Amino acid sequence: MSEPEGFEAGVEAAELFAALHAECFPDPWSEADFARLLASSGVKGLIARTEDTPQGLSLIRTVAGECELLTIGVLPDARRSGVGAFLLAQSEAAARRSGARRLFLEVSERNTAASALYESKGYRQIGLRKRYYRDGAAARVLARDLV
């Protein structure tokens, strides 16, 4: 697989975001969910692709110097190929451009691969939301300073 490249996309790509999200997660967000979020102030959507084929997505929201990674996902066939790290780095860069000094995210305690990626990039756990996900898993709240 070649190196990923990324691009920002807005409301016009809500259908693509929803399709990618559905391939990445068991409880996907709808096209309407993405359209509503992408139309919101401070929200940016990113798509990663290789050889013109979408491989993953991320969505961030920046408010008052803080940014939340709303979702990030990589298609199953593209996992462990660097797409997730690429999307995370692109999300951080977009957050910085939007004036964010810190980035927050949530990850299922059961998602050890994603947790390992985040921790390798300097994210540290700052909270825990017990039984947050439908499967009963807790959400680890992680954060990293961007400055």
Q: Which residues pair with 128 in a beta bridge?
A: 140
Q: Where are the domains of the chain?
A: 5-105
Identify the band that residue 1 occupies on the pLDDT scale cut at 50, 70 and 90.
low
Residue 2 confidence (pLDDT): 78
Lay out the sheet containing 102-108: strands in order across: 5-9, 43-50, 53-63, 66-74, 102-108, 139-145, 124-129
Q: Average pLDDT, stretch 61-78?
A: 96
**How far is Cα 104 from Cα 123, in angstroms, rounded to an integer?**
9
**How far is Cα 72 from Cα 56, in angstroms, rounded to an integer?**
7
Instruction: Using alpha carbons, list the distances in angstroms from residue 73 to 13, 86, 133.
Output: 16, 11, 16
The whole-chain average pLDDT of the chain stands at 95
The CATH number given to 5-105 is 3.40.630.30
pTM of the entire predicted model = 0.94
8-state DSSP, 36: H
What token pair was written down for 141? 């709240």
